[in-house]
Amino acid sequence: MWPYSLALSYKALYTCYSNGDNPYLTLTYLHFIARKEWIGSASLVYFILMPGFFIVNGILTGTGINSPIVNYNPEEILNVRLLTIPVEDTVYGYAQFLLVIYFFKQFQNRHNEK
């Protein structure tokens, strides 16, 4: 999805960051530089968590309510939505999920070394 969204969104700053730089750099670092073997397991867990993500993010972006709590500027996103959720949110959430696990494990290892 990265080259596709980046090519379509060179003027859409949020999409460039959320689907371009952030996930690409995160996955590149974790897989090729840090060589973390837990990425596959973490990806499965993220997939399992997606129903909760769709419920919460759906409500925040207007699914089932009169007006959304969170608004996105249509000029800054691809404007491709899953219900009312911008598709960029799923990719951005995945990258953030991986980074939280990475830093948790890093701090856990430092704590265990002491």
CA–CA separation, 46 vs 53, rounded Å? Answer: 9
Averaged pLDDT of the chain: 87
Q: What is the tens place of the pLDDT at every residue in 22-61?
A: 788 898 899 999 999 999 999 999 999 999 999 999 999 9
Q: What is the CA radius of gyration of the chain?
A: 16
In the chain the first and final C-alpha atoms are separated, in Å, by 42
Total number of domains constituting the chain: 1
Q: What is the pLDDT of residue 41?
A: 97
* Domain limits for position 56: 2-113
